[in-house]
Amino acid sequence: MFTGIIEAVGTIESLQPAGGDYRVKVAVNTLDMADVKLGDSIAVNGVCLTVTELYSKGFWADVSLETIRHTCFKDYRADQPVNLEKAMMTTSRLGGHIVSGHVDGVGTIIERHDDARSVRFRVQVPKALLKYIADRGSITIEGVSLTVNGIEDDVFELNIVPHTLAQTVLVHYSAGQSVHLEVDLIARYLERLISKAESTEAPKSDISLEFLAQNGFHRG
């Protein structure tokens, strides 16, 4: 699990075919790797990857075909900057919101404009994800925990403050850029619970008014 608070901006050094899927080599730059071991999780632009090998400047990870199909990784090239966040610890502050690192879909930035010292993005989202996005709710863009400022049709708006802009890859993004989206985890599980409850028939009972009367619980 992650928080959506980016710890460093790294760089894709290579994305190599390997046995039918891919391996990715990530230089972590300023990310502290002292406590990272093989098998640990690191979110790369919001995608949870497992560390399979450590090297002097960062780590290697496997990228499955499932990940390639549902993310922007297929378009990544050497020198691509990426947001990085190590998996949260139970003793850490939850500075953003609960993020799983499982991308729900790919959106497209359709507009960027300055708003005082901040920057506003308008992002077009796949229609299947619209039901999970709420005004003033949480959403993850490229692994960054952000607040939805408004939503109209299939487009929602975000306000990126100067610190977030400076510390993430969003500083480089403009109209036309594809971005990883992860909707609020609670909304996703709540929908599942409600849909299962609605589709499950209540168990039939043999208890009736006649049964209750016969057993002294009811008087007609």
**Quick check: helix, strand or coil at residue 68?**
helix
Condensed to tens digits (0 to 9), the pLDDT of residues 13-36 reads: 999 999 989 999 999 999 999 999
Residue 149: strand, helix, or coil: strand
What is the per-residue pLDDT for 205?
66
d(CA 158, CA 145): 11
Domains contained in the chain, CATH given:
8-86 (2.40.30.20), 105-193 (2.40.30.20)
Q: Which residues contact 67 (CB under 8 A, 6 or more apart)?
A: 47, 73, 103
Q: Average pLDDT per run of 10 along the chain, which is 220 residues long?
A: 95 94 96 97 98 97 95 94 92 79 96 96 96 92 96 96 96 97 86 73 64 58
Q: What pTM was estimated for this model as a whole?
A: 0.85
pLDDT at 167: 96
pLDDT in tens, 123-137: 999 999 999 999 999
How far, in Å, CA of 49 to CA of 43, rounded?
6
Q: What is the DSSP-derived secondary structure letter of residue 128?
A: G
Residue 26's pLDDT is what?
Answer: 98
Question: Which residue shows structure tokens 């996005």?
Answer: 133
Quick one: pLDDT at residue 140?
96
Kind and range of the H or E run holding 122 = strand 118-124
Q: What is the pLDDT of residue 212?
A: 59
Q: Which of 166, 9, 181 is nearest to 82 (CA)?
A: 9
What length does the chain have? Answer: 220
Provide the pLDDT for residue 217: 54
